[in-house]
Structure 1
């Protein structure tokens, strides 16, 4: 059995070049054999399905609003008024706002989808506050958490698109922001509950995530360890 001299990937006798890094196979004991069994076919066809955005958007709309309409009708038949069905209708509306933009929008799809999703989720939570007996939690609890989460997700999206990161650095970046997000959630929750911030459960999540991020950054700087991980996990 041969191995790539560059990345260490296991090779078959039918391979003249490494399928991962395209390095020429060098093994005097097992020369290239064109007739040997190949790990994958020589030729493959890529069939691209015809894209019909309007039909897909219409189907997503029907699948989102039909269950909501059904629940409202059943609720009216049983209770003679809309009670629990309002929650289903709001949830399906929010879900629809998350599903539709990626189908319809062509440019800056991820950022626009996140913006529309944030607005619709905030609107849905505001409507729920109007329905439930407990008031005052939307502005002081739900909205800050939604805005902070959307902001963190936006930073991760922009970093993934415009900043050249390795896999390990990107994972460390993601874990670090997740740790910060957890701390922010507990701060907002404590301020809503009793106006007194006491970090407790968020630290249990924060510390391991930060440690994992630091380990990933250290591994990223160690070339030998990094190369070994690439060989093992193909990253």
Structure 2
């Protein structure tokens, strides 16, 4: 039987799992359904470290946002933002500077609906319902929100989402479109699953996700480097999640991180 609760958008088939709700479950969130939890348990069988990886990815996003703010960024475009959980970009950024603007982008119905609820009283943050692989539509909607001024540097965030972009969708062209829309001094934060780390577990995850709405496409370090064309990678470059500018003592094993992370500055 399908579940129905007050925050579920009308017409949503809760029997079909989504990557956004799977991620929400791995982070300990409550905006997921039985089908999502079933898929997540299969994901965990293939990659037992998945909950830690989700936590590490969320921590990288926080560090990347604060790094960009230290370098003058006061407006963010968060692509594939997912279901809001504790430590959202607008919370992190506006704690550092209350006048920071954030535009979230997602097409997953629960992510959009819940984002609208939590952002309704925040004039400096919004969610737009668009597919990040269609940059022209995203950029048009972001500009019309009046929260992003594309004549000023922008922090473009793609944390843990590009492994859902297929080769046929031309990920290099997608990134290039966002790069070309923002001025020099803008930043790109990027993280995604790779087969370079724990290849057997990654192969298992790919098989699990083939049965979902969101198949996964891990990439090598070399392939990820190609996505940063036109950006200058900031230190330490493309590294496993816990090695990107860690705070304090780092006890997480980078070989089990599953995901590469990097930040680049447009030049």
In the superposition, the TM-score normalised over structure 2's length comes to 0.25
Relative to its length, the structure with more helix (as a share) is 1
Q: Relative contact order (alpha carbons < 8 A, sep ≥ 6): 1 or 2 greater?
A: 2
Which structure is larger by alpha-carbon Rg, 1 or 2?
Answer: 1
Relative to its length, the structure with more strand (as a share) is 2
In the superposition, the TM-score normalised over structure 1's length comes to 0.27
